[in-house]
Chains A and B, each alone.
Chain A
Amino acid sequence: MSKIAGIGVLIAGFLLAARLCFGGPADPSQIPSIFKPQSTPADSIFRLSMLVLTITGAIFAVVFSLLVYAISKYRRRGDDDGREPPQVYGSNQVELAWTVIPVLIVLVLFLITARVIHSIQDAPQPPGAIEVVAIGHQFWWEFRYPALGVVTANELHVPVSNPSHPTPTFMTLSSADTDHSFWVPRLAGKTDLIPNRINHMWIEPHETGLYVGQCAQYCGTQHAKMLLRVYVDSPGQFDRWVQEQKGPALVSGSVEQGRQVFETTACVNCHAISGTVADGRFGPDLTHLMSRDTIASGAAPNTPEQLKLWIRNPDAIKPGSLMPAMQLSEKDLDALTAYLETLR
């Protein structure tokens, strides 16, 4: 009957979904699946989730079968004699059984879950941990490494962690305006960034690569494009990156005019470039803008054309973001972009 066919379609759909969740296409790191963890907290959650799925799957299978059985066996037949079936009002034993068993299941589930909660939330910070302060803004991410003297935005670099000498990254989270949430599924569960509140989370990646995510708490018009890119580097790569980020902005004589445009227009009100007079905090730090693959918190690739478009007309890339259209002449815009292109 068509109900069975419908159920068959459902199962086929789920199998296909499972294949896609677990199989993965050519560039798996671009699919931020919670079932492909690459970091200790995400691993713990994955193991817990498999257990929960198994238990709930078993419950589903049992109850589903009983329901299917009931509606097929106890349907009124064509040759029905029209009499009412035996009127049964209840059964104490049956009702007791199907109360006690779920209570036991809940108890077991809870105990297992509580252990995972504690293991993630109350994990001690080892001496080798990298400390990052993340501040959420409408609609970009500010990242500071206080111990390393690094300030950057939107693209987070962390070292891969070696089990023999762990170097997880412990993050302190807050917000400068509304609520946000840091979610990179393959690395950890999400934690919110809330103004006037300090939250903590940690990641401990096992494999180098790029992990994507995005803001997961509605924060306003451009919540959708508050994207995250976490680069898990090898220890050597990470050290090199830190060295590059620590230094002040590179100075290049050929872009003097562009630097003038930057420092004499409103840019300096919002943006900081270390080593210059620009020290605005409202927008991302641009000291090493060219070390990033994207601009506008992942909304556009970091190319000269996109950069120019962003400055001329941010609404074309991220309508509703707080970056104003700078109303510069084309000449000034070219010079400015050329200057920004030198900020490696």
Chain B
Amino acid sequence: MASETIAITGAGGITRPISERLHDWVVTVDHKKLGILYIIYALFFFVVAGIEAAVIRIQLIVPHNHFVSPEVFNRMMTMHGTTMIFFMVMPVLFGFGTYLIPLMIGARDMAFPRLNAFSFWMTAFGGLLLYFSFVGGNGLYGAGNAPDVGWWAYAPLTSRAFSVGHSTDFWTLALLVSGVGSIGTAVNFITTILCMRCPGMTLGKMPLLAWLNLVMGGMVILAVSPLTAAQAMLCIDRYLGGHFFDTQAGGSAVLWMHFFWIFGHPEVYVLVIPAFAFLSEIVPVFSRKPIFGYPVMVAATVCIGFVSLSVWAHHMFTVGMNSYANSFFTITTMAVGVPTGIKIFNWLGTMWGGKIQFRAPMLFCIGFLFQFLIAGLTGIMLGASPFNWQLSGSYFVVAHFHYVIVGGIVFALFAAFYYWYPKMTGRMYNEVLAKCHFWLFLIGFHMTFDFMHIPGILGMPRRIYTYEPGRGWEIWNLIVTIGAFVQAAGVLVFIVNLLWSLLKGEPAGNDPWDAWTLEWSTTSPPPEYDFATIPVVRSRRPLWDLKHPEDPDWKYE
């Protein structure tokens, strides 16, 4: 179907000066521009945190290596984790959500456009504040004053006594600031999805991406707030002489752990649920079938949202909780695997009986399915508390969560990039380069993260800047490091593709994938107002209904 646009006189034709166009981007409240700003911001930090990972892996390629000092290594490992989670994955997911949600629910913008802009700039400032730590203090020498307490910042290591200088403060304040941004974005997502759906789009008819971002928004509200509170307490300890986590004054180090992981565990679901959303939009289109079991997908996600709030202490199985507490968190952790596993089956059910097209977005989705399955199963292993007593704090855990975040979330992100790139830019990406990216990244990923499980089993703890020879860890670390560089090559191809296609890609048209949700009814890229007339829908796949008037979805839903 053709899109509807209203010609705005005087808008096109004349090329405005670059300063004006840049100014547009800085002051914009348009959800599409803000979405793209989030995404570009995240891509930048993806590269930066990737470099930090490369430094880590080079240092660990052989035992007793001297590539960097322990101080620098500890700053690298802290910054790598903190950056990837707070300034790469969260912003990029917020970016996709901000861009897509209004388009997919038939709205013209988010509920609170100015809050949208404010949230982005708070997040952006947080990242800059965190990275300023490199040049504060010692300057770049010795990696400056960058935080080195690990991304969980356990007490009392973060107290003034053990963290001298301001490195910990950079961590705390940067995350406090970006946390405000995250909560603002969550408020915006929830309000937009609940209040601005187009006529006919009941909650049961909105795209799964909208549902999953709604659940994600709720989880951000409930999970990021405890982190904010805990960080405020840490600031009170460090600067006002408070004793929240001061063990010398009777305070509890374990209390910080509880507060942090009450944030930390739901946080990983905040990261993965939007990835599920991408799968739920992309797999149907490339299987040429609707999502299998829409109602259960919604129910499972809501279930995950609730249950994930009760599993946090599986990060604390080794701190000496009693056997009843350990048993409780074991059952909840295993329980949350059920709705999560069900989703894999539903995606499988979507592909079953379909006509699968192996374009780049689908290749990455298939990678996700295999890898997320494995990640979930190693998660079940880690959920068995006694097994956890051996595996926690080791490279097995590092392998597990990278399997989820890289093998799962990053693969889903690449799928989303390729899928919506035509819509956002109006150009098709280069399919050959994309497949090259896929294979390089897939091979590198498995080289690194499959073999990373083994040093964990052989007793190698995490967060160590070097290790002893003769413990059987050398060969695995070597393979892991090489894999990291193969992945880097894949990412390089990806970035080249993004840039090259921007200039030379074929015009995409409104609907290059023959898809079914509302964003494909606009031009590529969409006009500033998104929809000339607000659409009215009757089913979950409005464009399917239009393309197949003899067999519309609303007859079956």
Contact = CB atoms under 8 A, between A and B. Distances in A.
Interface string A47-77: 0110011001001100110110011001110
Nearest to A47: B386
B140 interface: no
A121 to B, nearest CB: 4
B457 A21 contact: yes
B204 interface: no
Given A21-B457, A76-B356, A85-B355, A192 B451 contact: no
A43 B469 CA distance: 26
B386 to A, nearest CB: 5
Interface in B466-480: 466-468, 470-472, 476
B146 to A, nearest CB: 14
Contacts of B294: 89-90
Interface in A12-58: 13-14, 17, 20-21, 25, 27, 30-35, 42, 44-45, 48-49, 52-53, 56
B253 A194 contact: yes
A191 B321 CA distance: 10
A89 B290 contact: yes
Given A33-B457, A221-B70, A56 B356 contact: no
A220 B149 CA distance: 7
A214 B460 CA distance: 9
Interface string B473-509: 0001000000000000000000000000000000000
Interface stretch (A99-107, A127-135, A155-163, A274-282): A99-107
B6 interface: no
A49 B150 contact: no
A189 interface: yes
Nearest to B557: A89
Nearest to A66: B348
B356 to A, nearest CB: 5
A194 B472 contact: no
Contact of A102 (B296, B320, B341, B465): B341
A292 interface: no
Interface stretch (A174-182, A247-255, A263-271, A323-331): A174-182
A113 to B, nearest CB: 5
Contacts of A295: none
Contact of A109 (B247, B356, B384): B384
A94 interface: yes
B237 interface: no
Given A17-B451, A59-B377, A215 B353 contact: no
Interface stretch (B21-29, B367-375, B524-532): B367-375
A95 to B, nearest CB: 5
B454 A75 contact: no
B156 A178 contact: yes
B397 to A, nearest CB: 10
A164 interface: no
Contact of A70 (B326, B348, B386): B348
B250 interface: yes
A6 to B, nearest CB: 7
Measured as residues with beta carbon below 8 angstroms from the partner, the interface class of chain B is 35 or more
Nearest to B159: A178
Contacts of B342: 95, 98-99, 102
Interface stretch (A196-204, A236-244, A332-340): A196-204
A140 interface: no
A103 B338 contact: yes
A176 to B, nearest CB: 10
Interface in A210-226: 212-225
B327 A114 contact: yes
Contacts of B386: 44-45, 48, 113, 116-117, 120, 189
Contacts of B338: 99, 102-103, 106
Contacts of A305: none
B470 A27 contact: yes
A155 B67 CA distance: 30
B334 A109 contact: yes
B253 A197 contact: yes
Contacts of B425: none
Contacts of A33: 457-459, 472
B295 to A, nearest CB: 7
A87 B472 contact: no
Given A33-B472, A177-B162, A224-B464, A56 B381 contact: yes
Contact of B459 (A14, A34, A48): A34
Contact of A196 (B69, B251, B331): B251
A110 B331 contact: yes
Interface string B294-309: 1110000000000000
Contacts, number: 294
B556 interface: yes
A222 B337 CA distance: 37
Nearest to B344: A63
B253 A85 contact: no
B2 interface: no
Interface stretch (B85-93, B177-185, B442-450): B442-450
B71 A221 contact: yes
B150 A218 contact: yes
A173 B356 CA distance: 57
Interface residues of A, number: 98
Given A103-B338, A319-B69, A75 B358 contact: yes
Nearest to B152: A218
**Per DSSP, are chain A's interface residues mostly helix, strand or loop, or mixed?**
mixed
B320 A220 contact: no
B354 interface: yes
A88 B318 CA distance: 47
A31 B459 contact: yes
Given A89-B556, A94-B349, A214 B461 contact: yes
B390 A185 contact: yes
A200 B380 contact: no
A32 B70 contact: no
A86 interface: yes
A196 B156 CA distance: 11
B254 A122 contact: no
B464 A199 contact: no
Contacts of A199: 319-320
A163 B463 CA distance: 38
A102 B69 contact: no
A70 B352 contact: yes
A74 B354 CA distance: 6
B446 A117 contact: no
B389 interface: yes
B335 A87 contact: no
A64 B162 contact: no
B323 interface: yes
A84 B345 contact: no
A116 B393 CA distance: 20
Contacts of B344: 63
Contacts of B533: none
B450 A14 contact: yes
A183 interface: yes
Nearest to A114: B327
Given A6-B442, A74-B355, A84-B288, A197 B323 contact: no
B276 to A, nearest CB: 16
A94 B345 CA distance: 10
24 contacts: A14-B450, A31-B458, A31-B471, A32-B459, A32-B471, A34-B457, A63-B344, A67-B348, A71-B366, A74-B356, A75-B355, A84-B355, A86-B289, A87-B290, A90-B294, A98-B342, A106-B335, A109-B380, A173-B320, A178-B156, A178-B162, A185-B390, A195-B156, A216-B393
- Which 9 residue pairs are nearest across A and B when measured between Cβ atoms? A189-B389, A32-B459, A224-B464, A199-B320, A196-B247, A195-B247, A216-B393, A90-B293, A31-B472
Interface of A: 2, 6, 10, 13-14, 17, 20-21, 25, 27, 30-35, 42, 44-45, 48-49, 52-53, 56, 59-60, 63-64, 66-67, 70-71, 74-76, 80, 84-91, 94-95, 98-99, 102-103, 106, 109-110, 113-114, 116-118, 120-122, 138, 173, 177-179, 181, 183, 185, 188-192, 194-197, 199-200, 212-225, 227, 298, 319-320
